[in-house]
Amino acid sequence: MTSFACRAFVIIAALNLCACGSSGTGEDDGTGSSSEPSTQSENQADTDTYTPATPDEITQFLGGKPAVLLFVDAGGRIEVLDLREESPAPQLLSTEASCINPIVSPDGSRVIYSRGQANGPKQIFLRALSGGDPALVANEVDVGYFAVEQGVEYVVYSDWSEKTQNGADGKTYRRALTYGTTTFSGQAEEIHARAMDAGPNRDLSWLGQVYDNMFAFEVGSAVDLEYATDKFVLMGGEAATHQTCNGSMAPDTTARLMTLVIPHDWVRIFTYTAQADRFEETSRFELPTGLKEWEYPEWSTSADYFTAVLRASDRKNRLFIGKVELGELAPALIEVVGREVGPSYSHLWVAQ
């Protein structure tokens, strides 16, 4: 069992405009604040005093809302921190290894996740957080998500696609669930002829995909509208032609796509604007002082929060919860899992 340290580390950053340009290079697999802000020196992130928060401090950061955090540890296993418990501490979901991209269901009772190599075909499984055997969703695929459309709960998943193909060599599917269970009530059906690895928004009205280029697809539109990279625009008005990875769609009915910008210096959010009929950059999250690299950003089940790994110059993974804010800034963050655990993929369920 992983224990939590007893001191919070919170970064609260003021607006700090970036002047280093808008494009990234390379290749790779609402305003909030804390009641106890602290400042960090350039070297503090490299010391053992850079410690995670207690469960109470995490709950305070989330405005007192019940929450469940899932993350993959250095052994490739999924760990669960259920902040609804009286004395929460991370527990192994199972002894399975090679787990990737755990996503908690909207009701906080189940998880969908992949097993396999990050850069290759995988299996997708669905299981209850309370225990029991996992249910196989599909073989030779990539990543899976939850969505609810017109009262029907679905798992949504895509084929494995070579990253340079931008999903063009795969497809995206949905499969209906008996609501609130791990039992399927229908067969898989294709919903788009591209593998959309950023998944759906909450009501399955939009799908997202990122890597060399960004794509978004309006599901069920009269003309099956797909928005390619030329429809994504940065704050300065220039085209968003930078490489991206780790796409994540907003957990509400809006069309918003969160992406990690290669070489991992920014996390950006692009929002669909109907008047301009394009996706415009509305958030650009800079690296906080003392930290060198973003990794694995993932929107939570609440549109107000996201999780991400941050690295200092020691190159060790540390897992944070951040607050989604508008503009170009270093967002409010709280460290929740320290570098001794080696966290990577994560997802946060927050009660609505």
Q: What is the mean pLDDT of residues 164-170?
A: 91
Tokens 């996992």 sit on residue: 134
Length, in residues, of the chain = 352
Q: What is the mean pLDDT of residues 247-257?
A: 97
Q: What is the mean pLDDT of residues 291-302?
A: 97
pLDDT band at 40 (very low <50, low <70, confident <90, very high): very low
Whole-prediction pTM: 0.86
Instruction: Return the pLDDT at 37.
Output: 31
Whether residue 268 is predicted with pLDDT greater than 80 in this model: the reply is yes
Query: Could you give the angle at the alpha carbon of 131 between the alpha carbons of 129 and 136, nearest 5°?
Result: 80
- Using DSSP's 3-state secondary structure scheme, residue 91 falls into strand
Total Cβ atoms within 10 A of residue 213: 18
Single out the residue of 83, 81, 100 nearest to residue 92, CA to CA: 81
Q: What is the mean pLDDT of residues 191-203?
A: 96
Percent of all residues in the chain with a pLDDT value above 90, rounded to a whole number: 76
Task: Please give the backbone phi and psi of residue 167, each rounded to the nearest 5 degrees, phi first.
Answer: 85, -5
Whether residue 352 is predicted with pLDDT greater than 50 in this model: the reply is yes
Give the gyration radius of the chain's Cα atoms. 19
- Using DSSP's 3-state secondary structure scheme, residue 309 falls into strand
Percent of all residues in the chain with a pLDDT value above 70, rounded to a whole number: 85
Quote the DSSP letter at residue 5.
P
Report the distance separating Cα 170 and Cα 160, nearest Å: 7
Q: Estimate the share of the chain in helix, then strand, then coil, as percent rounded to the nearest 5.
A: 5, 40, 55
Q: What is the mean pLDDT of residues 184-196?
A: 95
Whether residue 39 is predicted with pLDDT greater than 60 in this model: the reply is no
Residue 310's alpha-carbon distances to 21, 30, 314, in angstroms, are: 21, 21, 11
Single out the residue of 243, 250, 244 nearest to residue 306, CA to CA: 250
Q: What is the mean pLDDT of residues 282-299?
A: 95
Report the distance separating Cα 159 and Cα 218, nearest Å: 19
Report the distance separating Cα 241 and Cα 79, nearest Å: 36
Whether residue 350 is predicted with pLDDT greater than 80 in this model: the reply is yes
Instruction: Return the pLDDT at 290.
Output: 87
Report the distance separating Cα 149 and Cα 138, nearest Å: 21
Whether residue 20 is predicted with pLDDT greater than 50 in this model: the reply is no
Peptide bond into 102 cis (omega under 30): no
Q: What is the mean pLDDT of residues 128-143?
A: 96
pLDDT band at 8 (very low <50, low <70, confident <90, very high): very low
Instruction: Return the pLDDT at 101.
Output: 97
Whether residue 122 is predicted with pLDDT greater than 80 in this model: the reply is yes
Instruction: Return the pLDDT at 35.
Output: 32
Tokens representing 214 are: 């960004």
Whether residue 222 is predicted with pLDDT greater than 90 in this model: the reply is no
Report the distance separating Cα 295 and Cα 170, nearest Å: 25
Tokens representing 307 are: 């999780």
Single out the residue of 341, 334, 322 nearest to residue 58, CA to CA: 334
Higher pLDDT, 153 or 46: 153
Q: What is the mean pLDDT of residues 249-258?
A: 98
Tokens 């609260």 sit on residue: 12
Report the distance separating Cα 71 and Cα 174, nearest Å: 24
Tokens representing 45 are: 């992130």
Do residues 195 and 158 lie in contact, with contact meaning Cβ atoms separated by under 8 Å?
A: yes
Whether residue 12 is predicted with pLDDT greater than 90 in this model: the reply is no
pLDDT band at 221 (very low <50, low <70, confident <90, very high): confident
